Amino acid sequence: MQIWKKIGIYTCGMILTGTVFITSVTAGGPPLKDNACGACHRDYGAIMPQKHPDMGKGTPCLTCHTTDAKTEATKFSTEVHKTHQGGKTKLECSACHAL
């Protein structure tokens, strides 16, 4: 009976370790497609807040708003997801992300 108890504990430990590893590796979400914003938005100036710096002919958003997949969500990424997945717009993740 002792051997089955040890096997059970080791199995649970391995499952927990695997779950934590997978969660930490995929926490940043799938990578973005090339020109993810430009695929839908032609005139960035029309959608930017008043206080946003001038973008000229449309520098892609992620030039300035960079993210690191291993850190927590940024204010920019949180707001982008709120805007594109709620309210008037409900895009699928695959519209911007390479799945």
pLDDT at residue 32, as a whole number: 80
Which phi and psi (to 5°) does residue 32 adopt?
A: -80, 150
pLDDT in tens, 55-87: 766 667 777 877 665 566 778 888 888 888 887
Answer for the pair 98, 33: CB distance below 8 angstroms, yes or no.
yes
Joined tokens for residue 97: 């992300």
Write down the H helix ranges in the chain. Answer: 2-25, 75-85
More confident residue, 23 or 97: 97
pLDDT at residue 90, as a whole number: 87
**Which amino acid, residue 11?**
T
